């Protein structure tokens, strides 16, 4: 009987599975270690945040930097601390607030999504990803809302996390890994307990330490299981911002 042919792709997949088995525990430990000494940069992703706060935070972050989103978020929730307060705001008041604090190129997106939520009833923000997408939210923002707002057990992958995972498993990935493969790696690494804290810490660790240029490898809490320093070759990011 002829033995089944072992292709390069199948062998590489087997090696990736084995690498995941070996590195999984250490990566989780490293991410939680980062969390214990670093407060997440995004206040709406912290424990105790309401779904409303998470939704607003992720909308504001969707098209800009953490620094801009955080600054606007704090002022926004001061002016509109609850969904009912936001619902009572006039269209002119909302437009004026966004226009004053937000970069012009992002005003239309933020305004359109918030108005869509108000129209649907922000107290009944849909937990379904398809419903959230219909409001104009993007994949990463939807994942964050479902994880941090509703406690859904899923891996949150943005461009920074994609880059970090590609570096950690560089020796076991194809030249151009698919979005599905990176997502599958993220889901495999996701711990059973405290997934929201893990995701928030991983997002910050990837953004602050695993930089596009000159990553701060010496400060990385998962450095000992990362392939980047030995390979020193990046896989192009497959995730757009947001």
1 in any annotated domain: no
Does 64 share its domain with 143?
yes
236 in any annotated domain: no
pLDDT in the model for residue 12: 77
What pTM does this model have?
A: 0.84
Which token pair is 165? 């995972």
Dihedral angle over CA of 51, 73, 109, 159, nearest 10: -80
Question: How many structural domains does the chain have?
Answer: 2
Does 134 share its domain with 167?
no
Report the CATH number that the domain containing residue 187 is assigned in CATH: 1.10.1670.10
Which token pair is 134? 């219909």
pLDDT in the model for residue 156: 95
pLDDT in tens, the chain (242 residues): 555 555 766 787 888 999 999 999 999 999 999 988 887 778 899 888 888 889 889 888 877 788 888 888 988 899 888 878 887 887 778 777 777 777 666 777 777 777 777 776 655 555 667 777 777 787 888 899 889 988 889 999 999 999 999 999 999 998 888 999 999 999 999 999 999 999 999 999 999 999 998 999 999 999 999 999 887 666 555 554 44
Does 88 share its domain with 116?
yes
Specify the DSSP class assigned to residue 218: G
238 in any annotated domain: no
Report the CATH number that the domain containing residue 139 is assigned in CATH: 1.10.340.30
Range of the domain at 169: 8-39+154-231
Please spell the DSSP secondary structure of 161-209, one letter per residue.
HHHHHHHHTGGGS-SS--HHHHHHHHHHH--SS-HHHHHHHHHHHHHHT
pLDDT in the model for residue 206: 95
Q: Which CA distances in Å does 101 have to 24, 70, 73, 88, 94?
A: 41, 11, 10, 20, 11
With 0-12 / 13-18 / 19 or more C-beta atoms within 10 angstroms meaning exposed / middle / buried, residue 10 is: exposed
Does 92 share its domain with 117?
yes
């Amino acid at each position: 009987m002829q033995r089944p042919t072992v292709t390069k792709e199948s062998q590489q997949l087997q090696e990736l599975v084995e690498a995941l088995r070996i590195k999984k525990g250490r990566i989780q430990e490293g991410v939680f270690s980062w969390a214990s000494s670093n407060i997440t940069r995004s206040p709406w992703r912290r424990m105790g945040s309401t779904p409303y706060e998470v939704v607003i935070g992720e909308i504001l972050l969707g098209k800009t930097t953490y620094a801009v989103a955080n600054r606007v978020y704090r002022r926004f929730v001061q002016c509109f601390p609850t969904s009912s307060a936001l619902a009572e705001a006039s269209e002119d008041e909302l437009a004026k607030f966004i226009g004053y604090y937000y970069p012009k190129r992002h005003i239309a997106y933020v305004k359109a999504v918030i108005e869509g939520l108000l129209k649907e009833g922000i107290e009944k923000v849909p937990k379904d990803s398809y419903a959230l997408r219909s409001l104009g939210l993007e994949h990463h923002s939807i994942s964050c809302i479902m994880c941090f707002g509703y406690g859904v057990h899923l891996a949150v992958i943005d461009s920074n996390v994609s880059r970090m995972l590609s570096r950690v498993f560089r020796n076991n990935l194809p030249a151009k890994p698919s979005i599905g493969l990176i997502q599958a790696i993220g889901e495999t690494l996701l711990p059973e307990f405290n997934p929201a804290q893990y995701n928030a810490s991983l997002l910050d660790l990837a953004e602050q330490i695993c930089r596009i240029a000159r990553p701060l490898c010496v400060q990385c809490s998962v450095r000992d299981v990362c392939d980047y320093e030995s390979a020193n070759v990046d896989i192009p990011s497959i995730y757009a911002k947001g």
